[in-house]
Structure 1
Amino acid sequence: MAGLINIVPRYLPGYGMAPEWGHAVRPVVLVYTLVCVVLAIVFNADVDAQAGAYATGFLAMMVSGAFAVTVSAIRKRQRRAAVGFTVLTLVLLYALVENIREKPDGITISAFFIVGIIAISLVSRVSRTTERRTDHIEFAPAARRFVTDSLEYDGALYLIANCRQGGDAAEYAAKEAEQRGMTPVPGPAEVLFLEIDVIDPSDFSDVLRVRGIEVDGHRVLRAEGPAAPNAIAAILLALRDATGVRPHCYFEWSEGSPLTHLLHYLLLGRGDTPPVVRKIIHRCESDPARRPGIHVGG
């Protein structure tokens, strides 16, 4: 067992990368160019229509900026500035409305461009749901100690996934009792809690840092990532590779509509976590005997 304990590293490379298309040269430029070419073909490359679209977009941007400055001036009680920017906003708004009235093709092209970008963004978001989305995993000293202590205790790793609320001792005690009652957590096993604080769901984390926090005897592995399921899967796989022990993670089924959970995951990085974690692990590991165990109750 000592051999397993000593190889828990602080830094684990190679867990997840940017999406495959992200390795292309200037992918955003290519996407924008493609959308522009498609729109040019659809509208027969009409220069006047595209000029209208440019004017519409430019005026819309100016109206938004003028309105934002107006609101700021009102909040700061700058009366003269508020009056001046209100007039400017109304003038720009009038120009925008007249431009749309005279050149309706402009707003049509702008709308198609926006729809195209949103559609491509959604396809991209869906296509990378089963990626680990991290380049490296780094365990802080306290996190390493928790893992090694757990291995010394019974030679196994049992983790309970927790969506932190108050973060106090009562919450962890209730969560452990609940999981032991509805999932096959071995009776004498020592458990670690695993928590992911979701940051920007659109981002890719270069380094997933796992910290160790102790709350009244309850040991918590906590990390920040762009999506909870992806980060959990990456940590479980990293623990398996680093220790040689197949970890087991315990979840509770989420209440609500599956469609709602899907939208929450795509937009906010959270949703019905267990199925996504399982899918990511299946994608990353073809051998069932080497996959971390995923247990769900409730």
Structure 2
Amino acid sequence: MLLYALLANVVEKPDGITISAFFVVGIVAISLVSRVTRTTELRADHIDLDDPARSFVTDSLAHDGQLHLVANRRQRGEAGEYAEKEEAQRGMNPVPGAADVLFLEIDVVDPSAFSGALHVRGVQVDGHRILRAEAPAAPNAIAAVLLALQEATGVRPHCYFEWSEGNPLGHLFRHLLLGRGDTPPVVREIIREAEPDPSRRPGIHVGG
């Protein structure tokens, strides 16, 4: 009975539904515009590295005076995963043969957040050294870490990726909604906006 009365009222006086629909559409549109305009923000007020992470960076610099990082989306988190990832990246990207490689992993949490401290932890898995952090969006966090490393060390870091499979538009919507997508081009654009001098931008290398 109540449902019938509601439907009858909507049919006879649809003004309320129309106004509500405009409000909903307006809120969704504003939210999308806000998210799109903030896509290329760093989203991190500052970067904190714990002692193991600092040690990894120091040791890598001592090896050859350079910083080479491989971006990895963790799957099993086992030694074999990192060995396979490094071998694949050395095959598809210009990683110097004697380069000391660090892995960079971002766990996406609460994609609706936009700022705050980014805490980077140093984790070691069977000799493979990983810089790991939690952030609202992977590309923004990777860009922030690379820029922070460059600022702290004075060394231009190089980060290596592989292209993601799938439709570019699908990756775009995934990034907007979930903080993940085709990471390399977004990282590069964030760095381009944050650092106006091309010679001071961290190197982004994509293969595959």
> TM-score band, normalised by the shorter chain?
over 0.9
Structure 2: runs of 5+ lacking an equivalent: none
CA deviation profile, 1:134-191 (whole Å, cap 9, x unmatched):
1111111111111011111111100000011111111000000000001000101110
Partner Cα separation in structure 2 for residue 217 and residue 94 of structure 1: 68
Partner Cα separation in structure 1 for residue 42 and residue 106 of structure 2: 14
Q: Cα distance, 1:236 vs. partner?
A: 0.2
CA deviation profile, 1:193-212 (whole Å, cap 9, x unmatched):
00000111111231100001
RMSD of Structure 2 on Structure 1 (CA): 1.2
CA deviation profile, 1:69-115 (whole Å, cap 9, x unmatched):
xxxxxxxxxxxxxxxxxxxxx84x45543442332111111011100
Counting only pairs closer than 5 Å after superposition, residues 84-233 of structure 1 correspond to structure 2 as: 91=2, 93-94=3-4, 96-233=6-143
What is the letter of the counterpart of residue 204 of structure 1?
F
Partner of 2:184: 274
CA deviation profile, 1:200-238 (whole Å, cap 9, x unmatched):
111123110000100000000000111100000000000
Partner of 2:200: 290
Q: Secondary structure at the match of 1:232?
A: helix
For the pair 1:261 / 2:171, whether they are aligned, the reply is yes
What is the letter of the counterpart of residue 88 of structure 2?
E
**Identical columns (%):** 74
Partner of 1:244: 154
Structure showing greater radius of gyration is: 1
Partner Cα separation in structure 1 for residue 102 and residue 9 of structure 2: 62
Q: How many residues are aligned here?
A: 208
Structure 1: runs of 5+ lacking an equivalent: 1-89
Partner Cα separation in structure 2 for residue 232 and residue 255 of structure 1: 20
What's the TM-score, normalizing by structure 1? 0.68
What is the letter of the counterpart of residue 176 of structure 1?
E
What's the TM-score, normalizing by structure 2? 0.97
Alpha-carbon contact 1:205-1:225 (below 8 Å) kept: no
Partner Cα separation in structure 1 for residue 16 and residue 44 of structure 2: 41
Alpha-carbon contact 1:160-1:250 (below 8 Å) kept: yes
CA deviation profile, 1:26-79 (whole Å, cap 9, x unmatched):
xxxxxxxxxxxxxxxxxxxxxxxxxxxxxxxxxxxxxxxxxxxxxxxxxxxxxx
